[in-house]
């Protein structure tokens, strides 16, 4: 797995006032084009692992499928970088909204989404899960320590699906959204209920990341980094607990703090 995610390069390094010829480990980047019912749907640049999870999670996130049973067949040509998906229902109508902005209200609230598909697929969390401060810090440390690729390259994001007590799965990718889509695909392929789960994330909580979490269906997002203002507004609106700057023994809770307990 590690071999497909990175490779070694001879580079020139400057340190302590001199140039050195050294070997460095560089993360791999790979274009993956998804066809749905023989129509090109999207091309993503990904870390070349967990392709099936990536495709399933991405299509679910975009509202193309709701469950894996919506897929008639899924074939991936890893050599050429193509994924071919046949649906049981010949419908990809939401592709027309894939990159079109939508601003409006939903469910009686003044929600603001960037894209039509977000308005269709993001869900208000009904999660009753709570997590302690020490558990939050523990899960972040466990995820970070488990990522050999990040430690070697510094060029990937990590996302983990967790219970308050342990990590269920960790996925790594050069793209923040890809790592989350892989987790979404993992939960779908393994029929894992996500309402009571937690996402632990290495990157910034942007509005797009928050919406990905809402589409997956979790109620708590723990991050090592900062949130954006729109992410906080969406988290408040979607009833998601957003926690940032989990470093050392401290963190900040930006929304729905009742899920973080002593």
The whole-angstrom separation of Cα 94 and Cα 61 is 11
Q: Is 106 a catalytic residue?
A: no
What string of DSSP letters covers 233-253?
A: HHHHHTT-EEEEEEETTEEEE
**Catalytic one among 106, 107, 162, 256?**
107
List phi, psi (to 5°) of 87: -95, 155
Residue in the structure block whose two tokens are 């928050």:
210
The whole-angstrom separation of Cα 24 and Cα 41 is 35
The whole-angstrom separation of Cα 170 and Cα 162 is 9
Partnered with residue 102 across adjacent β-strands are 113
The whole-angstrom separation of Cα 101 and Cα 117 is 9
Buried b (16+ CB within 10 A) or exposed e, 157-182: bbbbbbebeebbbbbbbbbbbbbbbb
Q: Comparing C-alpha atoms, which of 80, 94, 81 is closest to residue 37?
A: 94
| Active-site residue set | 107
């Amino acid at each position: 797995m590690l071999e497909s995610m990175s490779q070694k390069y001879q580079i020139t390094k400057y340190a302590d006032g001199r140039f050195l010829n050294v070997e460095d480990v560089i993360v791999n980047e790979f274009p993956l084009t998804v066809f749905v019912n023989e129509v090109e749907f999207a091309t993503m640049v990904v870390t070349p692992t967990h392709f099936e999870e990536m495709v399933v999670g991405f299509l679910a996130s975009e509202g193309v499928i709701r469950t894996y049973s919506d897929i008639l067949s899924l074939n991936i040509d890893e050599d050429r970088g193509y994924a071919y998906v046949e649906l049981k229902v010949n419908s990809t109508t939401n592709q027309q909204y894939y990159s079109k902005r939508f601003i409006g209200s939903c469910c009686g609230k003044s929600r603001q989404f960037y894209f039509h598909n977000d308005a269709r697929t993001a869900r208000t969390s009904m999660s009753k899960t709570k997590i302690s401060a020490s558990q939050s810090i523990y899960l972040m440390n466990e995820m970070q320590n488990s990522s050999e690729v990040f430690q070697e390259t510094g060029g990937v994001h990590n996302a983990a699906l967790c219970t308050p007590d342990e990590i269920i799965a960790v996925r790594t990718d050069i793209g923040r959204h890809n790592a989350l889509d892989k987790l979404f695909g993992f939960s779908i392929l393994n029929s894992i209920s996500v309402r009571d789960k937690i996402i632990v994330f290495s990157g910034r909580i942007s509005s797009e990341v928050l919406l990905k979490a809402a589409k997956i269906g979790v109620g708590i997002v723990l991050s090592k980094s900062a949130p954006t203002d729109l992410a906080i507004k969406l988290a408040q609106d979607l009833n998601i607990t957003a926690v940032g700057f989990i470093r050392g023994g401290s963190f900040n809770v930006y929304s729905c703090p009742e899920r973080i307990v002593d």
